[in-house]
Structure 1
Amino acid sequence: MIVRVPASSANLGPGFDSFGIAWQLYNEISFQLSDETEILGCAEGYQNEENLALRAYRRVLERCGIREEGGVSIRFGKTSIPVSRGLGSSAALITAGVMAANELYGLGLSRDELFLLATEVEGHPDNVAPALYGGLSVSAMAGGRAVTRRFPVSDKLFFTALIPPFELSTALARSVLPESVSRADAVFNVSRGALVLRALGDGDAELLAFAMDDRIHQSYRATLIDGFSAARIEAQECGAAAICISGAGPTLLCVSGNPDFPARMETALSLALPGWEMRTLTPDLDGAKIAAL
């Protein structure tokens, strides 16, 4: 069987560890019951027991009290989500693993139950929520339990990812953040987060230009992204209404109300930051699917 999972961008400026949106950019991973466990089609460094797809697969079996007989063959097929670039590659693996275990063992778990199990493995719900459900989501943790809800995204907005030619680990991106923030900064993010949701739903690029700002994480993480300032300046000059770091980075997400923005940005990026890649993104509204049995 093959599981297809979308990429995702978390945070979206002020929505730190809460907001997330899924994209029509997919990884396809096949799972098949086997005599012994093997992982194929990915870098050798990921072909081990720590592979997140395998860990998530086994977490489901463990929580359901099932003893694994034999193993599972996991094969990476089409993998369009770049690794460690802030586009939800880890969440995609985890989502694929929980869905595969549910399907192969006929467990009948609901998508909500799979969401809770995926969050256990990931540690936070901001990427696994859009990966599983699709669309724009807002998630929160309460007593170790994740809660998520979807919000609309207008088709009047155009999304573009600026992807650097280097990785940035989530652990490193978290290590530079302060342990606490001021009340003023907390209020700043909460108020703008609410406006971001309204702007995305209404397709209001002008409101988004004001609201997609942050005082909790982006200024710290920007220091880890070589070329951040140059990319941001180029995006602004090309007409981006709003720019934020996608997830933990290093990818930058640009939002515009102008359909011509991607073409202008591609030309500017190739001149200003050789090696960076630009991808136009369209929201995925369906989430992860069993693509083939």
Structure 2
Amino acid sequence: MSGPDAGRVTVRVPATSANLGPAFDCAGLALTHHDVLDFALVPDGLTVEIDGAGAGELPTDESHLVVRAFRAASAELGWTPSGLHLSARNAIPQGRGMGSSAAAVVAGVLAAWSLCPDVDTVDGDAVLRLTTELEGHPDNVAACLLGGLTLSWTGERGVGADSLPVHDDVQPIVLVPDATLSTEVARGLLPDVVPHADAAFNAGRSALLVHALTSGTRLLEATEDRLHQRQRTAAMPASLALVDRLRAAGHAAVISGAGPSVLVLARRGADELGEVQAVTRAAIEGWTVLPLDVDPTGARVDRPVGEVSSR
């Protein structure tokens, strides 16, 4: 880059919901709820400004997750920026199972790649690998990067992900509680070994899930799970109780990521939003209902003089 705005980019990253019921640690959905972060290279020092979700709670020093991701990507690129000003406008709730940490990691890594003077284009494969290393698993970062319904995997050849379009009839509705839950606590409740029958059940439902989301059919059956949701009831009993009530009423409800938010994969035009709101109000107080859409494009990097896709 060159010119007066060569040291500035804006990164827009979507919220995500992972697992989607049976597809534990391998499926994610990008949602139309975004954090927008402005990065500017400055002569020296670090300043961090936060508006919206996390304001007054998140750190504003080198320990901020976006800054840590930015530094990690800069180090990988062999680049040491002189100083950084970060301004974050956050909409994604923190600690609610909507991918706030994945969004932070993706934003920091994409910004470093885009601002590095020795790099002409963003290497999507390298970004997916690094964000997965920083996040610990690929499901949320893949959805955040690529948009749509993403399937991700790790193996001897590294990490990979593909994005599929979601049928227009599918409308995500996220039910967000006031309470938070750390991913580490939620994962700590999972058993080390599961019955073969349960593993086979979830494998079948995961395959059906792809068909359901791309065709807009069989959403209730496709979101059945035996591996991870019920096992974490002790950490979020209200969330599991709400999932049970919604599913009993015919709605494809699951725990969003590690929770405690609940995701409903509703059918657009079937008045499910009103029904979901009614069930939620009857079951529990203090929850926010977010009717959203699927974000088909994922993270975006905008420059003051144009726009460059993160892919």
Q: TM-score range by the shorter chain?
A: over 0.9
| 1:234-293 CA-partner distances (Å, limit 9, x unpaired) | 4246541x1111100001111222531112322342343110111112000111112443
The answer to whether the aligner puts 1:201 opposite 2:210 as a matched pair is no
What corresponds to 2:94 in structure 1? 83
Q: Among 30, 33, 50, which residue is 2:38 paired with?
A: 30
Scaled by the length of structure 1, the TM-score of the pair is 0.93
Mapped contact 1:234–1:265 kept (Cα < 8 A): no
What corresponds to 1:245 in structure 2? 255
* Distance of aligned partners of 1:258 and 1:72 in 2 relative to their CA distance in 1, 3 Å threshold: closer
Between the aligned partners of 1:237 and 1:69, the Cα distance in structure 2 is 54
The answer to whether the aligner puts 1:123 opposite 2:136 as a matched pair is yes
The answer to whether the aligner puts 1:168 opposite 2:177 as a matched pair is no
What corresponds to 1:158 in structure 2? 171
| Unaligned ranges ≥5, structure 1 | none
What corresponds to 2:300 in structure 1? 289
Identify the range of structure 1 (208-217 vs 128-137) with the bigger mean alpha-carbon deviation. Answer: 208-217
Mapped contact 1:239–1:261 kept (Cα < 8 A): no
| Unaligned ranges ≥5, structure 2 | 1-8, 305-311
Q: Among 50, 58, 82, which residue is 1:70 paired with?
A: 82
| 1:4-34 CA-partner distances (Å, limit 9, x unpaired) | 1000000011110100010111000111112
Aligned Cα RMSD in Å?
1.7
Scaled by the length of structure 2, the TM-score of the pair is 0.87
Amino acid at match of 1:40: E
SS at 1:121 equivalent: helix
Between the aligned partners of 1:12 and 1:217, the Cα distance in structure 2 is 11
Between the aligned partners of 2:112 and 2:185, the Cα distance in structure 1 is 31
Mapped contact 1:239–1:256 kept (Cα < 8 A): no
Mapped contact 1:29–1:76 kept (Cα < 8 A): yes
Amino acid at match of 2:238: G
Between the aligned partners of 2:123 and 2:170, the Cα distance in structure 1 is 32
Shift of the alpha carbon at 1:145? 2.0
What corresponds to 1:52 in structure 2? 65
| 1:117-141 CA-partner distances (Å, limit 9, x unpaired) | 1111111100000101111011011
* Distance of aligned partners of 1:161 and 1:210 in 2 relative to their CA distance in 1, 3 Å threshold: same
Between the aligned partners of 2:292 and 2:71, the Cα distance in structure 1 is 32
Q: Among 124, 129, 138, which residue is 2:151 paired with?
A: 138
SS at 1:146 equivalent: strand
What corresponds to 1:103 in structure 2? 114
Amino acid at match of 2:207: A
Q: Among 45, 61, 70, which residue is 2:74 paired with?
A: 61
| 1:104-161 CA-partner distances (Å, limit 9, x unpaired) | 1142232222111111111110000010111101101113821111223111122211
Shift of the alpha carbon at 1:200? 0.8
Mapped contact 2:240–2:255 kept (Cα < 8 A): no
Amino acid at match of 1:25: H
What corresponds to 2:5 in structure 1? none
Between the aligned partners of 1:21 and 1:258, the Cα distance in structure 2 is 17
Aligned residues: 288
